[in-house]
Amino acid sequence: MMNSQVQAGSRSALLVVPNPILRPSRDSLVRLNRPGSWPGNRRKVGMGKVFAVIWDRSVSKKTGDNVITVKAKATVKVTVGGELTNVGLGRGVGDLLEVLGKSVRLELVSEELDPQTGLEKPTMKGYLHRKIGLNGLDVVEYEGEFKVSPSFGAVGAVLVRNEHHKEMYFESIVLNGFDQGPIQITCNSWVHARSDNPEDRVFFSDKSYLPPVTPAGLKKLREKELETLRGNGQGERKDFERIYDYDKYNDLGNPDDADTARPVLGGKDHPYPRRCRTGRPMTRTDPLSESRLKILVDSPYVPRDEAFSELKQAQFGLKTLKSVLHALIPGVEAFVEDKNMGFDFFTDIDLLFKHGVKFHKTDGEGSVLNSLLLPRLVKKAVDGGSDVLQFEMPSIMDRDKFSWMRDEEFARQTIAGINPYCIELVKEFPFVSTLDPKIYGPTESAITKEIIEREIKGVMTVEEAVAQKKLFVLDYHDILMPYVNKVRALEGTTLYASRTVFFLTHLGTLQPVAIELVRPRSETEDAWRKVFTQGIDHTTAWLWKLAKCHVAAHDSGMHQLVSHWLRTHCCTEPYVIAANRQLSAMHPIYRLLQPHFRYTMEINALARQSLINADGIIESCFSPMKYSIELSSYAYDLTWRFDKEALPADLIKRGLAEEDPTAEHGVKLVIEDYPFANDGLLIWSAIKQWVTDYVSYYYSNPGSVQSDTELQAFWEEVRTKGHEDKKDEPWWPVLKTNDDLIQVLSTIVWVVSGHHAAVNFGQYPYGGYFPNRPTITRNNLPVENESCAEFKRFLEKPETTLLSSFPSQLQATKVMTILDVLSSHSPEEEYLGGQVEPEWALVPEIRAAFEKFSGRMKEIEGIIDQRNTDLELRNRTGAGVVPYELLKPFSEPGVTGKGVPTSISI
């Protein structure tokens, strides 16, 4: 029989338990430990023939208030390798903690201060018990009860302690029993084991607060959590940590090996956005570069909650991509005897889709053949018991096998393909370079007025074409020129600077007019440049095809390195870091942005590991090769401006649109049938309206944007730390009004959703048949030297010259494989407007605004479908034309060529 002695008003209770073996029975201990019985910390003290259990309570003496019974339920996801894996199978201490009810401790934090002391009220502590075993379920529930005095006030946060020796993934915590109804706490986060970090994990309720109106009892906790997330900038980061900090891109190469040494990106010499700091050791030869020894085995550190979910890892993302990079591609490389071997005939390229590519089966951990989680292109071959990599026919070839050769398709893809971000209106003619003529040659282009007027059949003069906004250009001259000689010095590739001019016809389609390819003077050669046109004889017609091949390779590089990697993935990472460092998890703007940042840091870390690193996929398969990421730094320095990243601003900057307050979206398009812009403006306007509704609710008072200290710190840090190399630029927006904030947030949301979708998910549909978008050209044009043997071979067999310019068999196979994976949607993809966040649903006005936004996304689906059946819109429909669906909001899993996810998740 137990006897308890409790001193009135004391903070502890002594329970004396007689027991011949000097400890309480398990049943007694479990019964005594029921949540709510004695909330607080318990410690055991041996006292002769009794065993004393002392509770240190965190509640004041009884005040006469009616006690409320609050039931707590935590939903914990069963994860591979997490604490709940294989529960009960001889795990020892973990199971004992569950039996004793001491595995998960919860503390309730009041929103109010103690009126007597002016300090935070003592928390209410208790343990939660596991309610449901695994039994095939993917979640486990923990439950407990708290006896709470009404004077405790509303609960604004909880502290969670995980006493297990492994991390646990908490989905949500619900507190029931309060008069105001259930308190929902959305977690969706890992809770570290106490053995890794003794600090308890804090979760705030789903109610959002601007800093000035933060409940008094939560202010210090709000500040402390942000301090934890910022860290101290010291030491190597550990996997379980949630610390966000900045660093330069100093881990792409290996300075200890001359062949793979790469410059540090970020700073005066190579301006660049910042990435997440990992704190790994530096290399021997360069104290500014991080060693890649660990990165070869494990992915670089990202804060724990930024990692892919296990479903995404398992069914698609990280695990699949790693299998391709570390097993499949090495298997293909091992099979190919001649790494430089090209394709002898176009029929050989067709065999990639009909019969596939043989590769060596690999064994061991990470083997693509031993994995049940395979990319679609490999699974077919594995199911058939074959060692063949089988590619699916891309949609562009499935509809029209010869479309890649047509000039009209070459032009159409500049506004309805995978890179609609580079074409510009010709505002001045002739073209003039800004580069130093002493180094790079004449500043004026070789494309003359006479050439253009001849090619457009004299329908108007060049002056008239410029005035009427009929001339457009892909101008890669100045951005590529400084790298031409560097790239040409590398083995197995070449490069030119280029300009490609297009004319807008009376049908609203683009006609390619002329291509200029330029090579500056080098130590061994004089400068060379030539203008190519369609021609009316065989030789000029084949040279035109070769020139288009080079331009397509330039466009592929600019797409991958600038439009895709730099402007979406790379420039977004500082927003993610700054938001987590400066915006509390209870800040409404954090809760608006957080779904749009999901998984971005993880995919960027993987890119640094295997895609954009020295000798990675990009360097080995794209024409700038070892200068690829350095080129993206050059582009960042020359062209990137945050205030021009919003879609309307980008279109206006390129001359593709004009401001027009009477137009539907505030701009009038210069090319009326511009599929990317037409569909993109629908998405942009919907985003801006949703953001406007959201911001207007939380910032209803004049001056509230300017007085929001967390918001101002976030935006200041984006500018001064995340994009430090551009911090002094005058174009940075200043957050003073609601309109300023709406424009900034809409821009960020557009970049991570619509912009990224437009340049990512069509990569395999448009680039899977690589003659349509070669990523590299390996040979110089034969007319550079008409006395050489290459020119003679070109005259005898021009098709062979074209084929030899394409990527090698190994390069093509690697690119096609990667593009297939990167173009795929995960089964758990979250699409723009598809799912309301719990925190948004809590506020009726915000829920209604989101439902309006969601409904608009569904309307846009129908509008795009209707546009793709309108034969008058020749840039998106017609015989053999692939409909423009890249900005259709929703998609099925897999490679579909459509779908706008909420975030950059691949």
At 609, which helix (H) or strand (E)? helix 600-610
- Three-state secondary structure call for residue 499: strand
Residue type, position 95, single letter: D
Output the 3-class SS for 376-420: HHHHHHHHCCCCEECCCCCHHHHHCCCHHHCHHHHHHHHHHCCCC
Are 624 and 631 spatial neighbours (Cβ–Cβ below 8 Å)? yes
Supply the DSSP string of 543-599, one letter for each residue: HHHHHHHHHHHHHHHHIIIIIIIIIIIIHHHHHHHHHHHHS-TT-HHHHHHGGGGTT
Q: Which structure tokens are listed for 44?
A: 């055991």
Are 123 and 56 spatial neighbours (Cβ–Cβ below 8 Å)? no
Are 639 and 271 spatial neighbours (Cβ–Cβ below 8 Å)? no
Pairing assessment for the beta strands 68-77 and 124-130 based on DSSP bridges: unpaired
CA–CA dist 249, 300 (Å, integer): 12
- Residues 633-659 as b or e (16 or more Cβ within 10 Å = b): bbbbeeebebebbbbbbbbbebbbbee
**Which of 211, 35, 196, 193 is closest to 127 using CA atoms?**
35
Output the 3-class SS for 437-485: HHHHCCCECCCCHHHHHHHCCCCCCHHHHHHCCCEEEEECHHHHHHHHH
**Which of 43, 76, 195, 194 is closest to 143 using CA atoms?**
76
CA–CA dist 205, 182 (Å, integer): 11
Q: What is the DSSP letter of 32?
A: H
Residue 647: φ, ψ to 5°:
-60, -50
What residues are annotated to the active site?
564, 569, 756, 760, 906
CA–CA dist 64, 331 (Å, integer): 75
CB-based contacts of 308, cutoff 8 Å, min separation 6: 317, 318, 599, 602
Cα 493–498–502 angle (5° rounding)? 135
Q: Tell me the longest C-alpha to C-alpha distance in the chain.
A: 110
Helix, strand, coil share (%) of the chain residues, nearest 5: 40, 15, 45
Residue 60: φ, ψ to 5°:
-80, 175
Are 622 and 561 spatial neighbours (Cβ–Cβ below 8 Å)? yes
CA–CA dist 698, 840 (Å, integer): 12
Q: Which structure tokens are listed for 232?
A: 């101290």
**Which of 191, 213, 217 is closest to 202 using CA atoms?**
191
Counting beta carbons within 10 angstroms of the beta carbon of residue 61, is it exposed (0 to 12), middle (13 to 18) or buried (19 or more)? exposed
**Which of 567, 455, 559 is closest to 515 using CA atoms?**
455
CB-based contacts of 272, cutoff 8 Å, min separation 6: 248, 249, 265, 266, 570, 632, 633, 636, 725
Are 256 and 292 spatial neighbours (Cβ–Cβ below 8 Å)? no
HSE (side-chain half, CA atoms, 13 Å) at 347:
0
Are 221 and 109 spatial neighbours (Cβ–Cβ below 8 Å)? yes
Does the N-terminal peptide bond of residue 430 adopt cis geometry, omega within 30 degrees of 0?
yes
HSE (side-chain half, CA atoms, 13 Å) at 615:
9
